[in-house]
Structure 1
Amino acid sequence: MSTAMAERSWCVVVPHHAQGARMARHRLTVELSDVIDPHLLADVVSVVGELVGNAVRHADPLPGGVIRLAWRLRSGPEGDVVGVRVTDGGSAAAPQMRLVGPEALDGRGLHIVAALTMRWGVERDGLGQSVWAELRIPVEQGLRIPAEQGVRIPAEQGVTAAPQ
Structure 2
Amino acid sequence: MSRAVLLPHAPSSVSTARRRLCSDLRDAGLQSARVNDAALVLSELLSNALRHASPLPDPFPPDCIEAAWSVGTDDGDGWLEIAVTDGGAATLPRIARPSASALGGRGLDIVAHIAAKWGTEVDGGVTTVWAVLEVAVEEATDGPVVDEPETARA
122-131 or 45-54, which deviates more: 122-131
- Could you tell me the percent identity over the aligned residues? 35
**Runs of at least 4 residues off by over 3 Å:** none
Q: Could you tell me which of 142, 147, 152 is aligned with 2:146?
A: 152
Shift of 1:138: 3.3
Q: Distance in 2 between matches of 1:43 and 1:144?
A: 19
Question: 2:45 matched to which residue of 1?
Answer: 51
Question: 2:114 matched to which residue of 1?
Answer: 116
Question: 1:5 matched to which residue of 2?
Answer: none
Return 5+ residue gaps in structure 2 as ranges. Answer: none
Q: 1:15 corresponds to which letter in structure 2?
A: P
TM-score when normalising by structure 1: 0.84
Q: Secondary structure at the match of 2:36?
A: helix
- The answer to whether the aligner puts 1:162 opposite 2:131 as a matched pair is no
Return 5+ residue gaps in structure 1 as ranges. Answer: 1-7, 154-158
Shift of 1:144: 5.5
Q: Secondary structure at the match of 2:146?
A: coil
TM-score when normalising by structure 2: 0.89
Q: Could you tell me which of 130, 134, 137 is aligned with 2:135?
A: 137
Q: 1:99 corresponds to which letter in structure 2?
A: R
Shift of 1:41: 0.3
Q: Distance in 1 between matches of 2:132 and 2:71?
A: 10
Q: Secondary structure at the match of 1:94?
A: coil
Shift of 1:26: 1.1
Is the contact made by 1:34 and 1:144 (CA closer than 8 Å) also made in structure 2?
A: no
Is the contact made by 2:78 and 2:134 (CA closer than 8 Å) also made in structure 1?
A: yes
Q: How many residues align?
A: 148
